[in-house]
Amino acid sequence: MLKKFWRITIHSEFSAAHALRNYNGKCEHLHGHNFGVSITIQGEKLSEDTELLLDFTVLKQELKSVLELLDHKDLNAVSPFDKINPSSENIARFVFQALAPRLTKYAVTLYEVNISERGPQSASYFEVFE
């Protein structure tokens, strides 16, 4: 059976410092980034009234609520990064797992979170049920 979906993506950013444990390089020292954040949601139905998957404004507000936990912080002092490395990969998983439950009240699912420390370099996290 053919399943049809819509996906929408928004972009945001936050500023934070981190130090990568066991890195053996410059990034092992505390340093800062303007982290880029892209999230993609998907759904099967558009709203009847506006024919939108989800209003961008609503999605931006939900993401902002999660990013406020990280913005202008030393990530190594923020749970769970006080125990795990605050790598882009782990930040992407953190944002995904914090944001996904916030979206259950809408007819969408979180498809992917992408974190970039600068320009073309990024790490993505998503979950697939098998």
Give the C-alpha separation, 101 to 92, whole Å: 15
Q: Position 50: which residue type?
A: T
Give the C-alpha separation, 24 to 16, whole Å: 21
Annotated binding residue 29? no
Of 11, 28, 44, 72, which is the active-site residue? 72
Residue 127: active-site member: no
Annotated binding residue 11? no
Give the C-alpha separation, 81 to 121, whole Å: 21
For Cα atoms 61, 65, 70, give the angle at the middle one, nearest 5 degrees.
Answer: 135
Residues 6+ apart with CB under 8 A from 84: 90
Of 13, 27, 89, 112, which is the active-site residue? 27
Residue 13: active-site member: no
Give the C-alpha separation, 92 to 38, whole Å: 10
Residue 27: active-site member: yes
Catalytic annotation, residues: 27, 72, 117
Instruction: List the binding residues for Zn(2+).
Output: 18, 31, 33
Instruction: List the binding residues.
Output: 18, 31, 33
